[in-house]
Amino acid sequence: MRGPIVRLFGASMVLLFVMAGCATGGTSTNHQFGIQTKTSGCQAKGGLPDAGCTPGAIFPNATKDQICQSGYSRSVRNVPTSEKDQVYAEYGIASRQPGQYEVDHLVSLELGGSNEIANLWPELADPTPGFHQKDTLENYLHDQVCSGAMSLGDAQARIATNWLAIYQQMPQGQ
């Protein structure tokens, strides 16, 4: 009986290490940017967007040198009201209070994220962490990329996969 339990434990540990690598600094090649599998019935859960509706999308030609230039995000920001309305519709949000939501880029513009609908979702301000805290994380990851501590691809995949996990691991006071 001990043999199967040891094999199961070993397999579980391998899976845990693989998952931890993806969440905390592993290779970014497995993330499928820009591929929406749903365009309605989207449900955000626990502060994360519906991955079928908002898998994240990037400007594939964006480089570290470009995103680290002052004013880069401003130069590429282009989300018209009609696109924001479409995001709210996909998530079934018919009405909202001012400041309750922000149509946010899952992969932020400052990390080479695009304005495609696959990268947008209605993020709540409350409960925290909400969109204000995600802004802090985006700044932190941008600094990590621009300092050379993290690759751009890794930062993009990590924020698209589970921004909350990275936020919880981020040094406080950043």
**pLDDT score recorded for residue 31:** 72
Full-model pTM:
0.81
Q: Which of 26, 150, 39, 49 is nearest to 105 (CA)?
A: 49
Contacts of 117 (CB under 8 A, 6+ apart): 36, 83, 86, 87, 90
How many C-beta atoms lie closer than 10 Å to residue 10's C-beta? 10
Over residues 155-165, the pLDDT tens digits come to 999 999 999 99
Over residues 9-55, the pLDDT tens digits come to 333 322 222 333 333 333 344 678 988 999 999 999 999 999 999 99
φ, ψ of residue 173 to 5 degrees: the values are 90, 10
**pLDDT score recorded for residue 150:** 97
For the chain, give every domain's residue range: 2-169
